[in-house]
Amino acid sequence: MDFNAYAIVIEDNPVSEHGYRVLCESSKNVGNGFAINRFDAITADQSITFLAHHSIRWNWPWESSQVDIQTGLHKVPYQTSNRAARIACFASHYSLWIRCLADDKPILILEHDAVFTRKFDLQLLNPMKAQIIGINDPRGATRKSALYHQMIQSDIREIQPVPRIDKQEIAQGLAGNSAYIITPKAAEKVIQDVDTYGAWPNDAIICYQINPHLRVTRTYYTAVQGLRSTTTL
């Protein structure tokens, strides 16, 4: 399958730069034959200008839960000490969704704290039966991660719908969005969803409730390094 891989890296941030080096080394160690292209992240001090430039409205609460009228989903605030950093994380993923359209081929989006644990099986995803596929071990990467992992492993399908660990009204998707494949068709839809619903944290806007073709692999190809968060703290 022809695709490109991109890693989101915060330039000159010691945690992010270190994570990126570990990620690239791990990819070589497991025998991946593709390059991981560096994508310099949108930074916190660029985030508000980025939203304005793309005519995007941030539409996720910071302090108290809200019900989204259009979807019926309950929008629960994320733990965030630096709001601009949270917006910047969304903006970086959004930029790569745009890049996916420009590449006109699927892309693998990796956050700097991802690490490969096994060789990525390209044939498994060729042809892609889903439009967004998470490949990350959920343990330590999302809330209720043990349950998330258990539900994936109890399903014998190699590519399967994301497990539903919360009530229907809670936006829920991939395990932290630290490693996923997205197709141009899916990228176009997610961008349209942002136009419709406003900007949400990237792992909330890509949720099964508004992305019916969201999938995960039973075999995990990446895990998280356990680095200090650049958005929560």
- Residue 65, CA distances (Å) to 16, 73, 78 in order: 30, 10, 10
User: Considering the chain, what is the average pLDDT of its residues?
Assistant: 92
- Expressed in percent and rounded to 5, the helix, strand and coil fractions of the chain are 35, 20, 45
Report the range of poorest mean pLDDT among 62-66, 67-71, 121-125. Answer: 121-125
pLDDT of residue 14: 93
Domain definitions of the chain by residue range: 4-224
Q: Supply φ then ψ for residue 74, to 5 degrees.
A: -90, 120
**Of residues 168, 146, 171, 212, the one with CA closest to residue 154:** 146
**How far is the C-alpha of 106 from the C-alpha of 104, rounded, in Å?**
7
For residue 143, the model assigns a pLDDT of 81
Interval 43-63 mean pLDDT: 96
Contacts of 227 (CB under 8 A, 6+ apart): 15, 18, 19, 112, 113
Tokens 């136009």 identify what position? 195
Span 165-173, average pLDDT: 90
Note the CATH number of domain 4-224.
3.90.550
Answer yes or no: is pLDDT of 231 > 90: no
Instruction: Give the whole-number percent of the chain exceeding pLDDT 70.
Output: 95
206 strand-pairing partners: none
List 154's β-bridge partners, or say none.
none
Other C-beta atoms within 10 Å of 139: how many? Answer: 15
Section 165-189 average pLDDT: 91
Backbone torsion region of residue 8, taken as left when φ is above 0, otherwise alpha when ψ lies between -120 and 50, otherwise beta: beta
Confidence band (pLDDT; 50, 70, 90) for 201?
very high
Confidence class for position 196, pLDDT limits 50, 70, 90: very high
CA dist., res. 80 & res. 86, Å (int) = 7
Question: What digits encode the pLDDT tens for the residues 107-154?
Answer: 999 999 999 999 998 876 666 666 899 999 999 888 888 999 999 999
Q: What is the pLDDT of residue 142?
A: 81
**Cα angle for residues 68, 147, 118 (degrees, 5° grid):** 105
* Helix 83-103 with 44-53: angle, nearest 10 deg: 60
Q: Quote the pLDDT of residue 1.
A: 66
